[in-house]
Amino acid sequence: SYDVPALAVYSAHEYVPPDHEAYLRTVFPNLTYEEWPDTGHFLMMEAPERFNGVLVKFVEGLPEPR
């Protein structure tokens, strides 16, 4: 596994296997995971303000580089 912060944002309208989040958490224990029911494949274009807000919050929460 990778001991780094990771962000995964998925559309609920795209096929995502039911155990995908659990699998990602085995690879990235420090995972921020979101699944949005009201977007399609290009969620960053369909909901740019929401996506950018999630991305900024994630980046601002990252630890300082060593």
15 to each of 26, 29, 45, how far by Cα in Å? Answer: 20, 23, 18
Instruction: State the pLDDT confidence band at 43, using cuts at 50, 70 and 90.
Output: very high
Domain boundaries defined on the chain: 6-60
Whether residue 16 is predicted with pLDDT greater than 90 in this model: the reply is no
Question: What is the pLDDT at residue 53?
Answer: 98
Question: What is the pLDDT at residue 12?
Answer: 86
The model's pTM is: 0.86
For range 53-59, the mean pLDDT: 98
Whether residue 13 is predicted with pLDDT greater than 90 in this model: the reply is no
45 to each of 5, 8, 33, 39, 52, how far by Cα in Å? Answer: 24, 16, 18, 9, 10
Closest by CA to 42, choosing from 10, 6, 7, 8, is 10
